[in-house]
Amino acid sequence: MLSQKAKYALRALVALAQAGGDQVSAAELSLRADAPRKFLEAILLELSRNQLVISRRGKFGGYILGRPSAEISFAQVIRVIDGPLALAPCVSPRLGFRKCADCPDLEACTLREALLRARDATAEVLEAYSLADAAAGAGQPARALT
């Protein structure tokens, strides 16, 4: 399940994508993302550490995207904030792969195939959907999916 923290992060990043490269203050992002400012500032710090945003300090400081919005997928953001997309650690290809504690045999697991398919389908959609797509609005991709 997508955490509230990830929802705030995605909303803030889409707001930055909609800003078209203009710097946006934390206060303004808080309003646009409908997120508590202090909580959002902690999220933005985490996004900054992962080069998804660039922060500028000072009276006229704010945030901009760390790279073009078309190059930042929803999957990247969710992985930074919530961790792996997989529903169980035994189907996570990158982050946190391990056998489930209650599973005696990874190869004989009757749940794993369905969980692998769910992970693959979820990853396919979220990897293909960028901040630019969301900023374009109405759920229509801003670019052709390949």
Confidence of residue 95 (pLDDT cuts 50, 70, 90): low
Q: Give me the pLDDT at residue 28, please.
A: 94
Q: Which domains does the chain have, with CATH numbers?
A: 4-65 (1.10.10.10), 74-135 (no CATH)
CA distances to 31, 98, 122 from 50, in Å: 23, 24, 22
Res 144 pLDDT > 50? no
Q: Return the SS3 of 34.
A: coil
Q: 113 vs 5, 78, 87, 108, CA distance in Å?
A: 29, 23, 12, 10
Global pTM reads: 0.85
Whether the pLDDT of residue 51 is over 90: the answer is: yes
Confidence bin at 100 (pLDDT 50/70/90): confident
The pair phi, psi for residue 70, each rounded to 5°, is -70, -15
pLDDT > 90? residue 26 = yes
Nearest to 133 by CA among 84, 70, 79: 70
